[in-house]
């Protein structure tokens, strides 16, 4: 380089922050913590860098930009799902699906019990990270199948493998897979919907803001709203999934 030249190599932003050297896992964990605490609108490369004690530019080694970071959050949720499944924390009592002369019921076949366990584990992950749940739908709408995080694809593989085990052909397995996914994510979305208008109110009607709804136009909604405000919980998730699977395989209950 000529003497006196002002040309210098671009400075490499350090990826050593207040918690030590960064890794993709640490970056995604910090992003998820930020979203859990303040919502998706708070997430930016600059804000995440400040959380980790590094310049925003240092993060581009681990996520190419905001969209990549959002996909990383989806990846983090599905990695947590895998962890829950592997350590048994998503286990539930097996569903009863057919009658027996001795006990009145028999355990669900293995594939159905495993679908129930997976659904419950995903439900638990979503309730632990409600602010990130919209990404499970919006990013899947934006990202083609082959470009989804590997943890997401492993979940798809696991569910489809269970359906193959149950004896479904490819077309039927795809139909059940779509219905299963729609039910679980739809159920979680309903569980997490905003219902309370004024949390400071003790009276249920004012707490839900029923006085804001025109009684002449919405009489049924006003009456049912208190029940709608109650969460269905994991039992509702399980019951609905059993009903869905019965509809797809009404004569294959013990497969």
Helix (H) or strand (E) holding 107: strand 106-107
pLDDT score at 198: 95
Which of 10, 16, 24 is closest to 54 using CA atoms? Answer: 16
Distance CA 131, CA 169 (A): 37
Would you say 253 and 243 are in contact if contact means Cβ atoms under 8 Å apart? Answer: no
Give the single-character DSSP code of 4.
T
pLDDT score at 249: 64
The answer for 88, left when phi > 0, alpha when psi is -120 to 50, beta otherwise, is left
pLDDT score at 9: 38
The count of residues in the chain is: 255
- Using a 10 angstrom Cβ sphere, with 0-12 exposed, 13-18 middle and 19 or more buried, the burial of residue 61 is middle
Distance CA 148, CA 152 (A): 6
Would you say 57 and 13 are in contact if contact means Cβ atoms under 8 Å apart? Answer: yes
Structure-token match 């530019």, residue found: 57
- What domains are defined for the chain? 15-63 (1.10.10.60), 78-248 (1.10.357.10)
> Read out DSSP for 117-130?
HHHHHHHHHHHHSG
Give mean pLDDT in consecutive 10-residue pieces for the chain, a chain of 255 residues. Answer: 45 52 90 97 95 92 92 96 85 47 64 97 98 96 95 98 94 96 97 94 94 95 94 96 85 45
DSSP SS3 for 216 = coil
pTM of the model: 0.82
Residues 6+ apart with CB under 8 A from 79: 151
DSSP SS3 for 194 = coil
148-199 pLDDT per residue, tens: 999 999 999 999 999 999 999 999 999 999 999 999 999 999 999 999 999 9
């Amino acid at each position: 380089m000529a003497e006196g030249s002002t040309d210098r190599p671009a400075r490499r932003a350090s990826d050593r922050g207040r918690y030590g050297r960064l890794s993709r896992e640490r970056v995604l964990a910090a992003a998820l913590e930020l979203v859990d605490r303040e919502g998706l609108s708070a997430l930016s490369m600059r804000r995440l860098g400040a959380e980790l004690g590094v310049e925003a530019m240092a993060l581009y080694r681990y996520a190419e930009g905001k969209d990549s970071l959002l996909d990383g959050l989806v990846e983090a949720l599905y990695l947590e799902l895998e962890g829950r499944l592997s350590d048994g924390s998503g286990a539930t009592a097996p569903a009863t699906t057919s009658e027996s002369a001795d006990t009145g019921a028999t355990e669900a076949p293995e594939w159905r019990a495993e679908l129930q366990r997976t659904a419950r584990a995903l439900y638990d992950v979503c309730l632990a990270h409600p602010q990130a749940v919209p990404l499970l739908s919006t990013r899947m709408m934006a990202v083609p199948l082959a470009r989804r995080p590997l943890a997401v694809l492993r979940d798809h593989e696991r569910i489809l493998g269970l359906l193959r085990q149950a004896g479904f052909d490819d077309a039927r397995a795809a139909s059940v897979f779509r219905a299963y996914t729609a039910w679980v994510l739809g159920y979680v979305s309903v569980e997490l919907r905003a219902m309370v208008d004024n949390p400071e109110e003790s009276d249920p009607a004012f707490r839900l803001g029923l006085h804001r709804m025109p009684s002449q136009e919405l009489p049924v909604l006003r009456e049912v709203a208190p029940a709608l405000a109650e969460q269905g919980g994991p039992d509702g998730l399980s019951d609905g999934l059993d009903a869905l699977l019965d509809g797809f395989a009404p004569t294959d209950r013990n497969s």
